[in-house]
Amino acid sequence: MEFRPRDYITENESHALPRARADAHPLSSPLSHLTQVNDDVVGGNADFYDPLRGGIDNDAKSTPPEPVNLSETSGDQPIKEWTSFRRLLMQRFPVSKMVSLSSMPDVLMRSGKSHDKSATSMHLEELDDPKKFADEGVKVITWQEYVSRLHELKDEITRSWLADNRVTSLKLSIKVAKLMVDTSVSEFYPTLFVLVTDIMDMLGDLVWKRIKQKAEFTEDGALLCNLAENFEASDICADAKETCYNWFSKIGAVQDLLPRIYLELAILPCRRFLLDQPTDSLQRLVMMTRGLGDPVASAYCRLYMAHCAQKLPSHDIGYLVTCVNDLKVILTQTLATNERNLGNFQNNKKLQISLMEPTIEYIMKCIFIGLSQRRVNEVLPELGLMKNQQNFGTVSCVSLVLHHLLKELPIEVVSSNVVHILHLIEFNNDNSFHQHLNYRLLGFRLYEGKCPVDIVNAVLDKVMQVIATYKSLDEYLKVIDAYADLILQNHMDNHLDIILRGISERALNGGVTIDEMSSLQSLLVKFLSHFECLEDVFCLNHFPEILDILHGKSQDVVFLHILNMATSRSGRIRDPTRIQLLFEISRTLHDNMEFINAKNDDSQVTRSVSRFVYMVDYGAVMEHHLAFLVDCRASFGRFNELKETLVHSSNSLAIQSLQCAKKDLSFFKSCVTFSEVTIPSISGQRQFDLFLETAEVAFLGGLVSHVDGLIDSGIRCLHILDRVDGFRTSADIEGLVSSIRKLCGFLIMVPGNISLPVTYFPNNLFSLISSQSWFDPKMKTQIFSAIILLLTTLSQKTLPYHANKQMPGNDMLYYGDSSYKQELESLSKVVLENLLCAVQQEPSQAARGSMALEACNCIASSFMQSNELSSICHTLIGTAKSCLSVQDRCLQSTIRLINNQLPTLAGAVV
Amino acid sequence: MSVHLKLSHPNRIYRPSELLKGTIIVETQSSISHYGIRITIKGSVNLQVRGGSAGVVESLYGVIKPIPIVKRTVEVKPSGKIGSGMTEVPFSLNIRQEENLEKFYETFHGADISIQYLATVDISRGYLHKSLSATTEFIIESDKGDLLQRPISPETVIFYITQDTQRHPLLPELKSGGFRVTGKICTQCSLSSPINGELTVEASAVPIQSIDIQLFRVESILLGEKIVSETSLIQTTQIADGNVCRNLTMPIYVILPRLLTCPTIFAGPFSIEFKVAIVISFQSELSKLHKKSDSRTPRLWLAMETLPLELVRTM
């Protein structure tokens, strides 16, 4: 076996693909695009919508008046909205296990029990009755039982209806509606409402269908007419009208007010069979609802009204306005009694008001949905607002109502009436809703509406004046949070200064609670995102103090934000104070990490710190840079990924030092040594790559002995790899193989060491690979081929490349040394044998074919023609032919190569 | 073998000038022969005296002879045969006859007085077989021509109820704290439209439990020289439940129940009148002990105002 002399330059030229210059870099996107994006992020802060800023949106959530497509969606939209509203309503008030009632209604008793009662026991019960009323003990029932009983009742109603017992259905429905009278179930009331109105809606549907059936078909089932969607009362036959009238009479005869209203609302759409304009009934029903003395019961009754009215083809919102006005009166009176009674009663009122809140919210929504600007202007005075422009003190509007009004008002109305709204907020400070939250909402609405600066100024002056009197940091922050965007956007630095001082004063006086901390966090993040430059933020008065107040999770978030800000732009971080600050921040993040277990957070922090370390640049003062890297290693022990950055940084530092005018070899050595000692603490196969990288750097600086050591460590770490990593991806394996091939390419330049055998490294690599069972045949084939090619190259008279002029290659060192060539040959023989074995071991046919071709190529380019090799190649080609199709391009070109290189074989093969 | 009557109006309401139309439905297993199918309509005012202002002796009389309004029989089919299966025999007859000008009072079901119209079908089958018959009630509402020609202007009365307007003793706290409920209500009302009105609680020191509108009938019967009257409750309609907000106007809206009401009548032997009462119950520990008591009895925790109500039939 003899190595083939090779002419790499010609080979390269003959195999290279033709090249042509491209107009643009394939990886760069069109330039104009790029700048556009940057502009948006930097300049257009106002346009930039951050979907992750959920916290702000939650409060200022204003469902934009959806463009109601009247022709199609008008029917479904309210239903969908109602469904989701009902779900939210139930979730809003978590129900305790037991529901307490002021008295147990019969209808909640299991039907079985009440039927079993004998006449005498009934009579006895009646006699007992007065006593029963006398002890008003609280009755309890589990809510599951309550709910399942309601479901049973619903089934019973349907069943009786289907059995033509419509009177029974009605009677049961009345009983169900009566349940809404008892508001002592408190938190359960909204759930009860949802379940009861579900039954009411069902009954309404049944009645509607029945009357429609009567209108469309005769008793015998013959078709009378087909009612159009927008039918008129005159289309309805007398019989159907009579039935409809009967239903209203029956319901009108219900003695109790509340069930009467609920049931009439349920069958309200049926009014259309009698009248073309059924809206008058709505106005009457609103008035009737005033008769419900219980504030909660009456509020929910109005809620159901708002829902039922949407089923009418068209309706004016006048009745809703009356609803809101009545609710205002009720709330005012509730609050008035509130002031007189304190203690337990107070809590009760609070609960009452919180139960009423969703009803106000929904009714407000119904008022403003799809309302024209003109109608809005009419509605506002009807709501008792915008009337007395001179005398705001007399305009009364409960702050809770005001809040929901402010939420739903079209944004143009908010900005054009902002002064007035401010006054409303100022003069409506009652216990139903916190005043500061209304100021806050106004801020969000203004920001949303992009108001002119003068208005913003006026509002801010007023608001700043108000919040200056706030003692609580929480309230202060909540309001500031809403106005921060406005302040920043309009560059109102004086306000910025005041609020920062305000925060720091309040925080220092009273400490910071957890809630306040998260508000503070969101505020600081807002500041940080506004300013482009870190220095600008830190220049703000009190900002560093406020930063010091932070702790825990909020601190991490803000710090990470600062770090990301500092590292988000390309370029280098050179300022030592800045580096110091960021280092401290990173260290805090690192130290806090112990308490964070979430993996994602970790990796984000690690990435940001790594990026920071990568960006640090001390310029000419390289010693400081190295010292900085050493500090990093000491401080950030828990960041694995960072160590890799440290190695890269120190390697690049080493290269930089070589390029300096005055070369400082000892510094270079320190850098390499730093890398060398850092690598072993890094886990995984990255070690090999880093050793190789460092070896290359060391080689460039002429530290040959270091190089040997590094390569040695690199090969040795492949040992450990097996034990460390149980599983690898195919990408990892490919990466490793290509790194090993790279090592082979590097070894060409590395000069031999007198104290070591000539083939020390290739031999080491080979024996390691063959001894490790986890290298599969494919990997082995690739690596062994690389080793053979390496050995062939080393045998050439001139090596294809050198490190530099000063460093002699092996071609010089062993020039004319015959034992050198022999050693190379004997090793290549062993490797070749193993290579052939590896090819045969491959279980997969297709893979074996291409591996055989690879081996064949390797042999053909490495060795001179000989009989032995010819037969080997013959076998390999045979294997490839049996495994691959004859059309295979690689097979064909390999055969062509062999024809060329090993002509004797040609006859045998082709 | 069965027979029943089906009237042409599903709600069974007829005016005296109309034809009473319908079908006689006979179902039989085998064919039967008969001596004629006849329809009889019969209307009468039935009077009864019990309790009330009647004396012991009068109440012993019990039922007084009814006052007949109409009784007429028409043969729908002469004698013949009815085949097996279901047979429908249509019929129609005048309710009012030209020469006969009896007063057709509207149908009314009261406690002591009831005005009722019945249609009966008779299929006589000779002496050997039991005759088949069925009866159904039909409802008479006044003819349009008989209605008052003057347009009915709803007569509304303004009322106010305070501790001083009550003629019965009140709870001391009610007397001292005072209350004032005002409003208006119509006292002449068409049967086809609801009793309308409104009510406002202006003040009340004691929380309100409930406000109800009660509808009463006053039935009077001439018994010899004496008029026996009885007032009874027809319907209660709650218009306020709980301690309602002061100074919010609430509507009074009571749909008049059919059959249980009719136009106010002042006939010679009897009269039917109506009353409406606004009853305010105040929250009181005492009231809980007497939940089931008759609401007409004036109680310490109740305040009320009773007004006469004239019911008329309009177009």
Residue to mutate among B198, B213, B235, B241, with most A CBs inside 10 A, is B241
Q: Name, in order, each residue with C-beta under 8 angstroms of B98's C-beta and a sequence gap of 6 or more.
A: none
Residues facing B203 on adjacent strands: B180
Q: Name, in order, each residue with C-beta under 8 angstroms of A341's C-beta and a sequence gap of 6 or more.
A: none
In terms of average pLDDT, the best of A444-458, A630-644, A726-740, B144-158 is A630-644
Cβ–Cβ gap B255/A242 under 8 Å = no
Number of residues in chain B: 315
Over residues A78-88, the mean pLDDT reads 85
Burial class of residue B209 (count of CB atoms within 10 Å of its CB; 0-12, 13-18, 19+)? buried
Give the Å distances, CA to CA, from A502 to A492, A537, A545.
15, 17, 12
The minimal CB distance from B10 to the residues A133, A242, A248 is found for: A242
Per-residue model confidence as pLDDT tens digits over A26-44: 776 554 443 333 433 333 3
Q: Is the pLDDT of residue A116 over 60?
A: no
The ipTM value here is 0.91
Cβ–Cβ gap B241/A248 under 8 Å = no
Of B94 and A600, which is predicted with more confidence?
A: B94
CA closest to B213 among chain A residues: A255
Structure tokens at A32: 């104009």
Over residues A577-603, the mean pLDDT reads 75
Cβ–Cβ gap A290/B250 under 8 Å = yes
Half-sphere exposure of A694 (CA within 13 A, CB side): 35
Q: Name, in order, each residue with C-beta under 8 angstroms of A244's C-beta and a sequence gap of 6 or more.
A: A211, A236, A270, A273, A274
Q: pLDDT value at position A63?
A: 34
Instruction: Return d(Cα A373, Cα A386) in angstroms, integer.
Output: 15
The minimal CB distance from A134 to the residues B236, B245, B288 is found for: B288
Sign of CA dihedral A375, A376, A381, A387: negative
Over residues A79-90, the mean pLDDT reads 86
Instruction: Return d(Cα B109, Cα B257) in angstroms, integer.
Output: 11
Q: What is the DSSP string of A297-329?
A: HHHHHHHHHHHHHTTSS---THHHHHHHHHHHH
Q: Is the pLDDT of residue A390 over 70?
A: no
Q: Is the pLDDT of residue A694 over 90?
A: yes
Cβ–Cβ gap B236/A181 under 8 Å = no
Q: Is the pLDDT of residue B198 over 90?
A: yes
Neighbours of A547 (CB within 10 A): 17
Q: What percent of chain A has pLDDT over 70?
A: 86
The minimal CB distance from A294 to the residues B242, B258, B288 is found for: B242
Cβ–Cβ gap A287/B251 under 8 Å = yes
Q: Report the gap between the CA of A126 and the closest CA in chain B (Å).
A: 10
Over residues A465-474, the mean pLDDT reads 84
Helix (H, G, I), strand (E, B) or coil at A229: coil
Per-residue model confidence as pLDDT tens digits over A436-468: 888 888 888 888 877 788 888 888 888 888 888
Cβ–Cβ gap B253/A288 under 8 Å = yes
Per-residue model confidence as pLDDT tens digits over B31-42: 888 888 999 999
Q: Is the pLDDT of residue A217 over 80?
A: yes
Per-residue model confidence as pLDDT tens digits over B116-131: 999 999 998 888 788 8
Q: Report the gap between the CA of B252 and the closest CA in chain A (Å).
A: 8
Q: Is the pLDDT of residue A72 over 50?
A: no
Q: pLDDT value at position A68?
A: 35
Over residues A216-222, the mean pLDDT reads 82
Instruction: Return d(Cα A597, Cα A201) in angstroms, integer.
Output: 50
- pTM metric for this prediction: 0.71
Q: pLDDT value at position A190?
A: 92
Q: pLDDT value at position A136?
A: 46
CA A138 to chain centre: 47
Contacts of B251 in chain A (CB under 8 A): 284, 287-288
Sign of CA dihedral A355, A359, A361, A364: negative
Over residues A589-601, the mean pLDDT reads 64
Instruction: Return d(Cα A29, Cα A25) in angstroms, integer.
Output: 8
Binning pLDDT at 50, 70 and 90, where does residue A51 land? very low
3-state secondary structure A459-490: HHHHHHHHHCCCCCHHHHHHHHHHHHHHHHHC
Q: Is the pLDDT of residue B311 over 70?
A: yes
Binning pLDDT at 50, 70 and 90, where does residue A702 land? confident
Residue A231 near residue A208 (C-beta atoms within 8 A): no
Per-residue model confidence as pLDDT tens digits over A775-832: 888 889 999 999 999 999 988 888 888 877 777 888 888 887 888 888 888 999 999 9
Lowest-confidence segment of A291-300, A498-507, A832-841 by average pLDDT? A498-507
Binning pLDDT at 50, 70 and 90, where does residue B239 land? very high
Number of H helices, E strands in chain A: 43, 2
Instruction: Return d(Cα A477, Cα A459) in angstroms, integer.
Output: 17
Name every residue in A having a CB less than 8 A away from some CB of B: 129-130, 133-134, 136, 181, 239, 242, 246, 248-249, 252-253, 255-258, 260, 284, 287-288, 290-294, 297, 326, 329-330, 333
Cβ–Cβ gap A288/B237 under 8 Å = no
Q: Is the pLDDT of residue B52 over 90?
A: no
Binning pLDDT at 50, 70 and 90, where does residue A475 land? confident
Residue A796 near residue A749 (C-beta atoms within 8 A): no
Q: pLDDT value at position A452?
A: 80
Q: Is the pLDDT of residue A474 over 60?
A: yes
Q: pLDDT value at position A752?
A: 83
Instruction: Return d(Cα A699, Cα A269) in angstroms, integer.
Output: 90
Structure tokens at B122: 């008779």
Q: Is the pLDDT of residue A122 over 70?
A: no
Cβ–Cβ gap A290/B244 under 8 Å = yes
Tell me the pLDDT of chain B averaged across its residues: 86
Q: Report the gap between the CA of B130 and the closest CA in chain A (Å).
A: 32
- Domain chopping of chain A, boundaries: 74-113+139-315, 446-550
- Domains within chain B, CATH numbers bracketed: 2-144 (2.60.40.640), 156-312 (2.60.40.640)
> Torsion over CA of A555, A557, A561 and A563, rounded to 10 degrees?
60
Q: pLDDT value at position A266?
A: 95
Instruction: Return d(Cα B191, Cα B195) in angstroms, integer.
Output: 9
In terms of average pLDDT, the best of A62-76, A297-311, A383-397, A545-559 is A297-311
Amino acid identity of residue A36, one-letter, is Q
Confirm or reject contact between B239 and chain A (CB < 8 A): yes
Over residues A84-95, the mean pLDDT reads 85
Residues facing B181 on adjacent strands: B161, B201
**Cβ under 8 Å to A: B residues 178-207:** 194, 198
Binning pLDDT at 50, 70 and 90, where does residue A210 land? very high
Q: Is the pLDDT of residue B152 over 80?
A: no
Sign of CA dihedral B139, B141, B143, B146: positive
Residues facing B306 on adjacent strands: B277
Q: Name, in order, each residue with C-beta under 8 angstroms of A642's C-beta and a sequence gap of 6 or more.
A: A606, A609, A610, A613, A632, A636
Instruction: Return d(Cα B257, Cα A269) in angstroms, integer.
Output: 22
Structure tokens at A601: 């957070």
Q: Report the gap between the CA of B124 and the closest CA in chain A (Å).
A: 31
Of A407 and B158, which is predicted with more confidence?
A: B158
Q: Report the gap between the CA of A379 and the closest CA in chain B (Å).
A: 20
Binning pLDDT at 50, 70 and 90, where does residue A112 land? very low
Helices (H), A842-864: 845-862
Q: pLDDT value at position A169?
A: 93
Q: pLDDT value at position A117?
A: 39
